[in-house]
Amino acid sequence: MSLLKRSPHGPTMQAAVLYGKEDLRLETVPRPRAAAGEIVLQVGAALTCGTDLKVFRRGYHARMLKPPIPFGHEIAGVVAEAGEGSTFRVGDRVVALNSAPCGQCFFCRRDQANLCNDLLFNNGAYAEFLRVPARIAGKNTLRVPDYLPLEHAALTEPLACVMLGLEEANARPGDTLAVIGCGPIGLLFVHAAALSGMHVIAIAKHREQAAIAKELGAAEIVMLERDQSPVNAVRALTEESRGVDIAIEAVASPTTWGWAVDMARKGGTVNFFGGPPAGTQVQLDTNQLHYSGLSLRASFHHTPRTVRRAFALLAGGRFQTRQFLTARASLGDVVSLYRTMSSGATRGIKTVILP
């Protein structure tokens, strides 16, 4: 049975709905309407995402969604309807984030809005229209200047997560930073760190990824070749082989979590950014952690502050956004596209979905 039955009255639209593990369907559903404080966007561009791919493969996300539910969350568009009291007007070009914190709970008061007890999520970017709840419209929706393409603005959400990862790692200009994994998130880390004045070492699996990482500012590349120790290779690129100031894990496997710890110098910081499946266990050397004075972090999601930092970076002109948008597809291609991505048959970074 369809998640949202087609109404005999009122306008309808096409939308991708996730029902479970690798069960994504394009359906005809009622077009949303805007209540007080809300807006409805006509989707201008939505992007594919590594997190959405994991959700497609697993059939769920621990925090962001439980099927059946509309799918996709990286989006920018044009306001088609504005509810009473909204600060936006019909015709405004905006980027709407996929969540907003309550601003009142323990974590929000502690400046940890990404861990909000009442974090309000919104999915459904792979559609013709999307309703943006009042809280997200008020706290995490930004006007897009005319010179910035909507598909570029749609990159705000994943970049905001990366900005939080760098912020929580206390990353500073001049730091040496290793990024394990050159998928979309890893490459965002490479570029954002390089633009911030860091010396970046990228650890890549494929030659195409390595080439892009170099173009995005990586000073050094370590390839995951057979029989080569990536830990030794990274350490050899640092002074006296002491290790990196910051190691970013962007793969989400126990093996790479271990590499990240071993790559960091004494007093360094490790950010376990990649999220493995529920129940995954890792083993770490407690002696090494203690006597090396390592700081271990695991960053999740974004905050209104990092959203604005990311958007400013995208709008500032230095960010090479086009490097990340490697293909285009229509809304009707979404289901087959995620099946292809899940099979590993494509190595593009992000596909722009144009409804």
pTM (2 d.p.):
0.94
**Structural domain ending residue among the three candidates 297, 317, 336:** 297
Residue 17 has pLDDT above 60, yes or no: yes
Please report, for residues 12, 90, 346, the alpha-carbon distance to residue 341 in angstroms, rounded to integers and kept in the order given.
29, 35, 6
For residue 123, the domain's CATH number is 3.90.180.10
Q: Are residues 229 and 307 in the same domain?
A: no
Question: Is 194 within the bounds of a domain?
Answer: yes
In a domain, 284, yes or no: yes
> Both 28 and 49 in a single domain?
yes
Residue 76 and residue 148: Cα distance in Å, rounded? Answer: 11
Same-domain status, 335 and 283: no
pLDDT at 10: 79
- Peptide bond before residue 68 is cis, with ω within 30 degrees of 0: yes
Pick the closest to residue 175 from 90, 246, 92, 247 (CA basis): 246
Residue 303 burial (CB < 10 Å; 0-12/13-18/19+)? buried
Are the beta carbons of 17 and 335 closer than 8 angstroms?
no
Domains held by the chain: number: 2
Please check whether residues 292 and 309 belong to one and the same domain: no
First-last CA distance in the chain: 24
DSSP assignments along 233-274, one per residue: HHHHTSGGG--EEEEEE-S--HHHHHHHHHHEEEEEEEEE-S
Let me know if residue 251 belongs to a domain.
Answer: yes
- 125 lies in the same domain as 21: yes
In a domain, 2, yes or no: no
Residue ending a domain, among 297, 322, 346, is 297
How confident is the model over 221-234, as pLDDT tens digits? Answer: 999 986 679 999 99
| Residues 182, 246 within the same domain | yes
Residues 338 and 292 in one domain: no
> Is 163 within a domain?
no
Q: What is the pLDDT of residues 214-223, one digit of tens each?
A: 999 999 999 9
Is position 165 within any domain?
no
Instruction: Please tell me which residue, 348 or 127, carries the higher pLDDT value.
Output: 127
Same domain? For 153 and 199 the reply is: no
Instruction: Find the domain containing 70 and state its range.
Output: 12-157+302-354
Q: What is the pLDDT of residue 6?
A: 46
Higher-pLDDT residue of 306 and 63 is 306
Whole-number pLDDT of residue 272:
98
226 and 120 both lie in a single domain? no
pLDDT band, residue 8 (cuts 50/70/90)? very low
Q: In this structure, are 337 and 251 located in the same domain?
A: no
Give yes or no: residues 221 and 309 share one domain. no
Residue 122, token pair as written in the block: 């919104």
The CATH number of residue 267's host domain is 3.40.50.720
What integer pLDDT is reported at residue 265 of this predicted model?
Answer: 98
Instruction: Read off the pLDDT of each residue in 167-186 and give the average, rounded to a whole number.
Output: 97
Contact in structure between 233 and 208 (CB atoms under 8 Å): no
The chain-wide mean pLDDT, for the chain, equals 94
Strands (E), the chain: 12-20, 23-30, 39-47, 69-70, 74-82, 93-96, 99-100, 120-121, 129-132, 141-143, 176-180, 199-204, 220-223, 244-249, 264-272, 295-297, 325-330, 350-354
Shared-domain flag, residues 99 and 72: yes
Residues in the chain: 355
**Does residue 162 fall inside a structural domain?**
no
